[in-house]
Amino acid sequence: MAGSPALSPSTGLRAWLLSPEPTSRWQARLGRFYLGWRSFARNPLAVLGLCIVVLLIAVALLADVIAPYSPIVGGDLRTQRLLPPSETFWLGTDDQARDILSRIIYGSRITLFVVVLVSIIATPIGLLVGTMSGYLGGWIDTVLMRITDIFLAFPRLVLALAFVAALGPGIENAVIAIAITSWPPYARIARAETLMIRNSDFIAAVKLQGASTPRIILGHVVPLCISSLVVRVTLDMAGIILTAAGLGFLGLGAQPPMPEWGAMVATGRNYLIDQWWVAAMPGLAIFVVSLGFNLLGDGLRDVLDPKAAK
**String of DSSP letters for 41-62:** HT-HHHHHHHHHHHHHHHHHHT
Of the listed ranges 13-17, 137-141, 183-187, the least confidently predicted one is 13-17
**213 to each of 126, 159, 200, 260, how far by Cα in Å?**
18, 34, 15, 45
In order of 5, 17, 39, 52, 134, the CA distances from 13 in angstroms are 16, 6, 18, 29, 42
- pLDDT value at position 310? 47
Distance CA 10, CA 27 (A): 16
pLDDT of residue 4: 44
**DSSP states of 59-96 as a string?**
HHHTHHHH-SS-SSS---TTTSTTPPS-SSSTT-B-TT
Query: Tell me: the pLDDT tens digits for 127-138?
Result: 999 999 999 988
pLDDT at 2 over 50: no
> Are residues 84 and 277 in contact, defined by beta-carbon separation less than 8 angstroms?
yes
Decide if pLDDT at 309 tops 70: no
Which amino acid does the sequence have at 112?
L
Q: Does 120 or 227 have the greater pLDDT score?
A: 120
d(CA 52, CA 62): 15
- Structural contact between residues 75 and 110, judged by C-beta atoms closer than 8 angstroms: no
Are 164 and 246 contacting, i.e. CB atoms less than 8 angstroms apart? no
Could you give the percent of the chain with pLDDT greater than 90?
46
Mean pLDDT of 85-93: 92
**pLDDT (mean) for 31-59:** 90
pLDDT at 284 over 90: yes
State which of 3-17, 18-32, 100-114 shows the largest mean pLDDT.
100-114
- What integer pLDDT is reported at residue 54 of this predicted model? 96
DSSP state at residue 259: -
Q: What is the pLDDT of residue 7?
A: 44
